Amino acid sequence: MRIEDSLAAAWQRLSGTYVENLPWLECAERYDRAHTFHYMDPPYWQTAGYGVDFPFENYERMADFMRRCKGKVMVSINDHPDIRRVFEGFHFETLDIRYSNTNQRQGKAEVSGELVIMNWLPDAFGGLF
Q: pLDDT tens across 65-90, in order?
A: 999 999 999 999 999 999 999 999 99
66, part of any domain: yes
What does pTM read for this prediction? 0.77
Q: Is pLDDT at 124 greater than 60 in this prediction?
A: no
2, part of any domain: no
70, part of any domain: yes
Q: Is pLDDT at 106 greater than 80 in this prediction?
A: no
24, part of any domain: no
116, part of any domain: yes
Pairwise CA distance, residues 122 & 90, whole Å:
11
Domain of 74 in residue numbering reads as 59-99+111-124
15, part of any domain: no
Q: What is the pLDDT of residues 10-66, one digit of tens each?
A: 899 999 888 899 999 999 999 999 999 999 999 999 887 777 889 999 999 999 999
Walk across the sheet containing 91-103 and list its strands.
37-40, 72-78, 108-118, 91-103
31, part of any domain: no
Number of domains comprising the chain: 1
9, part of any domain: no
Band of residue 100 on the pLDDT scale cut at 50, 70, 90: low
